[in-house]
Chain A
Amino acid sequence: MTKKLMLMAGLLGLDALLAPLARAAGGKASDLVVVADTRVLDSEILLYFANLYNTNIVLFAVWTVVLTAAYGCLLGVVMDKLMALTGLDLTSRKIVEH
């Protein structure tokens, strides 16, 4: 059942893909390049990252992943502490999975 549905969803997606592509097939295709506009930034931190985006995308990508993961960890720890403070019983809740 699920497999059939997945197939159907896939076909639907494919159909949606093909229609505009048939139209676009003749057009030329080149990569879009984005330049962060550092002229309008005041914040030092934003300026640093926007500049990094323009000059060294690999380092920017490493920074993004590390910062996101680290911030996620930090939030996890902080939220754990906060929820413990509320005094609610959080051990008995069932895990709802779907």
Chain B
Amino acid sequence: MRRMATSLVLAAALALCAGAALAAEVAQGRCIEYDTAAKTITIEEYDTNFGKSHPYGVSTGMVSTYDVKDAKIGLTPEPGDILRIAYEIHGDKRAALTAYYDALGNKRVAIKVMNVTKQSLHGK
């Protein structure tokens, strides 16, 4: 009984925390450039139209760049690798001059970078 009460209290505490969870976007695509000096990754975005001949989706033609300064990066991305990136859009922090902004003035800050291509080669 006491355990149940404890878990209820915990669940309530979690529900409160839940509001604090940040929403992140996910993008997947072919790596064009991994600039280790500027700490940015540029990809050509793919859509979610998966198929036998295009298992990672079809190119949308859009190119986007991500700030990976604080990102957790898996196996080192190389041009041509399919990457999946979880990122946040920082729209109102124009102060940092080195950062990359798109046409709308938004900056994509990566949280995690997954190397889909290389990871699938890893022993399962």
If A33-B72, A54-B112 touch, whether A39 touches B48 (CB-CB below 8 Å) is: yes
The residue in chain B whose Cβ has the minimal distance to the Cβ of A34 is B114
Interface flag for B31 (CB, 8 Å): no
User: What number of A-B contacts does a CB cutoff of 8 Å give?
Assistant: 78
Which residues of A are found within 8 Å of B115, using beta-carbon distances? Answer: 33
If A32-B122, A38-B24, A39-B28 touch, whether A70 touches B7 (CB-CB below 8 Å) is: yes
On chain A, the number of residues with a Cβ less than 8 Å from chain B's Cβ atoms is 24
Partner of B73, one of A33, A34, A37: A33
Contact present for A73 and B7 (CB under 8 Å) = yes
**CA distance in complex: A70, B72 (Å):** 31
Contact present for B24 and A51 (CB under 8 Å) = yes
The residue in chain B whose Cβ has the minimal distance to the Cβ of A60 is B21
Instruction: Give B108-124 as 1s and 0s: 1 = Cβ < 8 Å from A's Cβ atoms.
Output: 00011111000100100
Closest 8 CB pairs of A and B: A33-B74, A54-B86, A35-B114, A35-B84, A35-B86, A38-B26, A55-B24, A55-B22
A-B contact pairs, 7 of them (CB 8 A): A30-B76, A33-B115, A37-B84, A54-B86, A66-B7, A66-B14, A70-B11
